[in-house]
Amino acid sequence: MMYFSQKQVRALIETIIARLPGVEIMFDTIPCWFSRKTISGYWRTPFYRVPPMPWGINVWDAPALMKSWSPQITQVDVIPYRRFRTFPAALAPWLARLPGLRKHMPGNVRIHTCKSL
């Protein structure tokens, strides 16, 4: 989802819900600060630039936003992202426990929908 604009993400989620009643949708998110960093040109190595990721959301803000998009969304779960492979990133699960840093971490969102209105 992070490779789309917020408008495109919303349209995609609304389309999926309309065509597949009762669906559950799960996707990963990046925080707003990281989205801004990729748009301004984040070079991970001297030879690799991270692609622009226009849609970032602080994962704890996702439930309210997702529920505002469709009345068919009945529940939104936030699941901490646990797939970190490098040393600094391996500290992320512990950093995510700190209240001040929690909202600035990547995460997963699972949307539950009702079968019909």
Confidence check: pLDDT of 23 > 90? yes
Q: Would residue 107 count as lying in a domain?
A: yes
- Evaluate whether residue 84 is within a structural domain: yes
The domain containing residue 109 runs over which residues?
Answer: 6-113
| Residue 62 belongs to a domain | yes
In a domain, 68, yes or no: yes
* Residue 1 in domain: no
For residue 42, being part of any structural domain is answered with yes
Judge whether 58 lies within some domain: yes
pLDDT at 31: 92
**Tens digit of each residue's pLDDT (9 = 90 or more) over 32-49:** 999 999 999 988 889 999
Amino acid 84: pLDDT: 59
pLDDT at residue number 97: 66
Query: What would the DSSP string read from start to end of the chain?
Result: -TTS-HHHHHHHHHHHHHHSTT-EEEEEE--HHHHHHHHT--EEETTEEPPP------GGGHHHHHHHH-TTEEEEEEEE-----SHHHHTHHHHTTSHHHHTTS-EEEEEEE-S--
pLDDT of residue 91: 65
Task: Read off the pLDDT of residues 65-88 as tens digits, 9 standing for 90 and up.
Answer: 999 999 999 999 998 766 656 555
Quote the number of domains for the chain.
1
Note the pTM of the prediction, 2 decimals. Answer: 0.81
